[in-house]
Amino acid sequence: MVYSKRNKSLYIDTEALSTLALVKAGLISPVERLMNKAEAQNVDETKMYKGVPFPFSFILAPQGKKNHQTLQTLKKDEIVSLINDGNIVGELIVEETFEVDPVQRLQNIYGTADTTHPGVRNTISRLGKIAVSGEYTVTYPLIEDNMKRIRNMITKTGAKHISSMMLAANPLNRAHERMIREAITNSDLLVIFLRKPFTSEGLRYDIRHNALTTFVDNFLPRNKVIIIPFENTYIFAGYNELILDALLAKNYGCNQLVMGKNHGGLGLYYDKNRLSSVFDRCQDINIEIKTIDELVYCDTCKTLVSTRTCPHGQHHHVHYDSASIMKLIQAGLIPPSILVRKEVSANILAALLPDRFENLQEMHYSLMPGSGLLEQQSEEQFYLKLIELYQTSSLT
Give the pTM: 0.88
pLDDT digits (tens, 9 = 90+) for 215-224: 999 999 999 9
CB 155 within 8 A of CB 162: no
Q: What was the pLDDT predicted at 291?
A: 85
User: Integer distance in angstroms from the first to the last C-alpha of the chain?
Assistant: 68
The pLDDT of residue 280 is above 80? no
The identity of residue 336, as a single letter, is: P
Q: What was the pLDDT predicted at 90?
A: 96
CB 297 within 8 A of CB 337: no
**Which residues does residue 228 pair with via DSSP β-bridges, in sequence order?**
193
Q: What was the pLDDT predicted at 271?
A: 46
* Mean residue pLDDT across the chain: 88
Q: What was the pLDDT predicted at 87?
A: 94
pLDDT digits (tens, 9 = 90+) for 308-342: 889 998 999 999 999 999 999 999 999 999 999 99
Q: What was the pLDDT predicted at 242?
A: 84
Q: If we measure between CA atoms, which residue out of 179, 181, 231 comes closest to residue 205?
A: 231
Neighbouring CB atoms inside 10 A of 30's CB total 12
Q: What was the pLDDT predicted at 1?
A: 46
CA–CA separation, 29 vs 249, rounded Å? 11
Compute φ and ψ for 270, nearest 5 degrees: -95, 125
Q: What was the pLDDT predicted at 283?
A: 66
What's the rounded mean pLDDT across residues 190-198? 94
Q: What was the pLDDT predicted at 373?
A: 61
Residues 6 or more apart in contact with residue 365 via CB below 8 angstroms: 374
pLDDT digits (tens, 9 = 90+) for 25-72: 999 999 999 999 999 999 999 989 999 989 899 999 999 999 999 999
Q: What is the 3-state secondary structure (H, E, C) of the chain?
A: CCCCCCCEEEECCHHHHHHHHHHHCCCCCCCCCECCHHHHHHHHHHCEECCEECCCCCCEEECCHHHHHHHHHCCCCCEEEEEECCEEEEEEECCEEEECCHHHHHHHHHCCCCCCCHHHHHHHCCEEEEEEEECEEECCHHHHHHHHHHHHHHHHHCCCCEEEEEECCCCCCHHHHHHHHHHHHCCCEEEEEEECCCCCCCCCHHHHHHHHHHHHHHHCCCCCEEEEEECCCHHHCCCCHHHHHHHHHHHCCCCEEEEECCCHHHCCEEECCEEECHHHHHHHHCCEEEEECCEEEECCCCEEEECCCCCCCHHHEEECCHHHHHHHHHCCCCCCCCCCCHHHHHHHHHHHCCCCCCCHHHHHHHHCCCCCCCCCCCHHHHHHHHHHHHHCCCCC
Q: Which of 25-34, 40-49, 98-107, 229-238 has the lowest mean pLDDT?
A: 229-238
